[in-house]
Structure 1
Amino acid sequence: MRSFFVAASLVIAMAGTAFAADPIAGNWTTQAGSTAAIAPCGSAFCITLRSGEHSGKRIGNMAPKGAGKYAGTIVDPATDKSYTGSASLSGNTLSLSGCVMGGMICKSQTWTRR
């Protein structure tokens, strides 16, 4: 029984390490030139502006969906309005999109890794 608990603890620890090493985590340069930090928070990744006019403001969260795809919420820092969001990672480029009205009206941005 003891070996079961040790093995289970190791599996949980390795899963946590893999999640923390997700490729979306890190610092990104936004389309406006600000720095956004993406870091694990709970079962998703939180996006917080680290520079620019809205520095310190959390502007979204994204949960991994597999194959470099993420889904969650994006917040416009100027208006504090929330939008259904998605992100797609390709190398050092992160394509984000925020939509309203069931995806009928969307805005997109491309960020690059710092």
Structure 2
Amino acid sequence: KRSREDGSINDLSTQRRNVFFELDGKIKTLNEMGTVPSCAMELLRTGTHGLDKIKEICAKYNYPTPTEIKMIYDVKTKKFNVAYQYKEICSAKTNISAGEVFMNWITAKKNEST
């Protein structure tokens, strides 16, 4: 049972999605949760499908597509919080990968907990 929240980061420019969980005050990646690989892949596939829908809606209404979406669901309060970025984050210009952004977010969350 998740004690507080899970987080996910989505990079729409490269269609990368990853998740982490906070369980009993400890941050754990999807790999560390011991999830059955097929279930983990389905979770990531579902998220990617959602990203495709967001891109379609933005294009349909001529609205800028977010370059990053960070989502947090708090299990205790049952509230969902989303933060969008529109600036270029992961690219050759920024020299930052989506993996680095994800790991930086995990590190920040771990630092918040201590």
Q: Is TM-score (shorter-chain normalized) higher than 0.5?
A: no
More strand by share: 1
Could you say which structure has the greater relative contact order, defined with CA pairs below 8 angstroms and 6 or more residues apart? 2
TM-score, normalised with respect to structure 1 = 0.30
